[in-house]
Amino acid sequence: MNQTYHDLSAYAAPLSSAERNRVLRNTYWLLALSMIPTVAGAWLGLATGISRAMSPMVGLIVFMAGSFGFMFAIEKTKNSAAGVPVLLGFTFFMGVMLSRLVGMVLGLNNGASLIMTAFAGTGAIFLGMATLSSVIKRDLSNMGKFLFVGMIMLLVAGIANIFIQSSALMITLSVLAIGIFSAFILHDLKRVQDGYETNYITATLGVYLSLYNVFQSLLSILGIMGSNDD
């Protein structure tokens, strides 16, 4: 879901340092802006209960259809003025879909603190990966293929767990997801800094999806542990 691989990227005209910094700066700004509709979507989802009203299977279908639909639209509009609004609409949708998990965690005695802990943990991971991306000199573009395979395996196992309903498997998948999507953040930011990714909307989409999955996985682990303590 995150990646488009360019086999001919090595032959493309390299971007200047100023151009790469501009793409990276715009990516950071748009990423920060995308948090606003995400929070708004989560609030609306909690207030209306729209996500909670859907069964797990219906929720999965809506999530997959909406996600791929929005990502197709983002790809088509990334070089136009409509690119940013479409991306922000996508992040609003993702916030609505996240509200089911947020609502479940908020129902715990220490739910608010668990959400803040997951948010802080996600922020720390992002800062760590962003720092590493600026320090590592090695080309990391090839690692994306292995991360993509790992992501597909996680997706398949996650769908299977909808039917299995295993807390142990959920924790295992969440831990693996944190590792894989943290590496995706490093990979995507490094692509921008090395000049492989020249569109800041595409770059923002990749990093946003990774952050979303890291936060969701952290919150799932904390929610399961918190419910066991009650």
For 161-173, write each residue's pLDDT tens digit: 888 888 899 999 9
Q: By percentage, how much of the chain surpasses pLDDT 90?
A: 66
Residue 1 lies in a domain: no
The pLDDT, as a whole number, for residue 13 is 45
Average pLDDT, the chain: 88
The pLDDT, as a whole number, for residue 229 is 62
Tell me if residue 10 falls in helix, strand or coil: helix
Residue 130 lies in a domain: yes
Nearest to 154 by CA among 181, 127, 128: 181
pTM exceeds 0.75: yes
Q: By percentage, how much of the chain surpasses pLDDT 70?
A: 92
CA distance 167 to 187: 30
Domain limits for position 76 = 15-229
Residue 127 lies in a domain: yes
Average pLDDT over residues 107-130: 94
CA distance 163 to 220: 17
Average pLDDT over residues 60-74: 93
Residue 9 lies in a domain: no
Residue 63 lies in a domain: yes
CA distance 188 to 193: 9
Least confident of 2-6, 85-89, 193-197: 2-6
Q: Residue 160: CA atoms inside 13 Å, Cβ hemisphere, count? A: 8
Tell me if residue 143 falls in helix, strand or coil: helix
Residue 225 lies in a domain: yes
**Total count of domains within the chain:** 1
